[in-house]
Structure 1
C-alpha cells in the first residue's frame, strides 16, 4: 500500500503531536499526510515548534530545513536527505537514521541516544555537545565531524571512517568497535592528530575500547 508508515502503522493513522509554528511548513506537512506521495519534501521549511515523534520520513527531503528543538523521538529517516539541516537541540532519541545524509548538518546539543546510524554520512557535520549514548554507527562515515563535547557513551562502531574532531570533554566511556582514523584532538588553540595505537590509547584512557584499523584507501 502506497504511503505506509513502517514504524507507526499506515501514515493516515499517524498524526503529529504538534504542528510547526510556520504556516507554510504546516501546509506542506498536512498536504503530504493527505496525499499518497511517499516522500515528504520539507526542503528549506521551518519545522520549529513541531512534535513529529514516531513519523516515517523515509526518503524524505529535509535539505536546509530548520528543525531546531523539534521532537523526533522514534521517527524514521531511512535514506532521508538532511544535508545542511539545522537540528540544534532536536530530540532524535531512538530514531532510525540508517543511510541518512547528514552532511554539513547542525546537530549541536541534539539528543541522538539509541539512534541507528548504520551507513549514515556525516561529512562536515557539527555535532558538538550532542548526545549519542548507545548509538549504532556501524559503517557510518564521519569525516571532519565536530564531536567536541559530544557524549559517545556505549556507542558502537564497526569499520567507521572516524575522522572526527574531539577534545577532552568528548565522552568515550564504553565506546567500542573498529575505526579508521585519524582523530583530531583539540586542546585550547592547539590540535594534534592521533592514529593507530596512539589513538587506541587515547580512547582507552577515556574508558573506551576501540581498535584502529590500517589507513583506509579507496579501491583503485
Structure 2
C-alpha cells in the first residue's frame, strides 16, 4: 500500500478502549506513512480492515475479536499480541514477529505469513485455510484443532503440536519436522518419512525434508526418522 492509502483510509470501527482509540486517531491525523505504535494497548473489538500498518509496534497489544481483514502488517512487531478470535482473513503478515502471540480461534484464511516468525504461539482452533506459510518459522506452535487445509509450506521449520482434530487436507509443499502428536493423554513424536506419510494419509501432499543442521565433522546426529518403530494413531 502507498502512503496515500494511509492518508485516505478510515477505520470501520475504533477500539472501545479510550487510550487505544485516541492513539489511532492521533496516528491518522499525523498523515504519515510510518507505523502505528500501539504496544500494550487494547484494540479489541475494533475494525481496522484494509489499513496499512506496515512496520508498526503491536507488542503485547490486544486484538481480541478485532477485524483486520485485508490489512497490511508488513515487518510489524506483534510479539506477545493477543489475536484471540480475531479475523485476519487475507491479511499480509509478511516478516511479522508473532513470537509468543495468541491466535486461539483466529481466522487467518488466505493470510500471507511468508517469512513470519511464530515461536511459542498458541494457535489452538485457528483457521489457516489457504494461508501462505513459505519460509515462516513454526516452532513450538500449538496447532491442536487448527485448520491448515490448502495452506502452502516451503522448507518450513514445522516443530508444532497437533492432535486428531488438526486438519491437513490440501496442505502442500516441503517442511522440516518433527511434530508432536497429542492423542488420548499421550504424546508421540513424528518425523521423517513417518511424518510425511501421516500427514499425506490425512489429505496433505507434503514432503518432509532431512534435517539441514549438518556440521563439518559429519552428518547430524538427529535422525530424519523419529521413533520409526512407533505406530502413530490412525
Structure-1 separation of matches of 2:215 and 2:200: 31
Distance change >3 Å, CA 59–CA 202, structure 1 → 2 = same
Query: How many residues in Structure 1 have an aligned counterpart in Structure 2?
Result: 215
Among 169, 185, 200, the alignment partner of 2:181 is 185
Query: Among residues 175, 179, 188, which one is paired with 2:171 in the alignment?
Result: 175
Supply the distance in 1 between the matched residues of 2:4 and 2:188 (Cα, whole angstroms).
49
CA distance in 2, matches of 1:42, 1:177: 35
Tell me which structure has the larger Cα radius of gyration.
2
Q: Deviations over 1:91-141 (max 9, x none)?
A: 000000000000000000000000010000000000010000000000000
1:162 aligns to 2:131 (yes or no): no
In the alignment, which of 13, 25, 31 is matched to residue 18 of structure 1? 13
Query: In the aligned structure 2, how far is the partner of 1:91 from the partner of 1:219?
Result: 43
TM-score by length of 1: 0.95
Q: Which runs of 5+ in 1 are unaligned?
A: none
Residue number among 118, 124, 140 corresponding to 2:120 in the alignment: 124
Structure 1 CA distance for aligned equivalents of residues 91 and 103 of structure 2: 14
The answer to whether 1:58 aligns with 2:54 is yes
Separation in structure 2 between the aligned mates of residue 121 and residue 209 of structure 1, nearest angstrom = 23
Partner of 2:194: 198
1:38 aligns with 2:34: yes
Residue in 2 aligned with 1:137? 133
Give the CA deviation at 1:204: 1.0
Calculate the aligned-residue CA RMSD, in Å.
1.4
Counterparts of 1:183 and 1:160, CA distance in 2 = 12
Aligned equivalent of 2:228: none
Uncovered stretches (5+) of structure 2, i.e. residues with no partner: 217-234
Contact 2:115 2:137 in 1 (8 A): yes
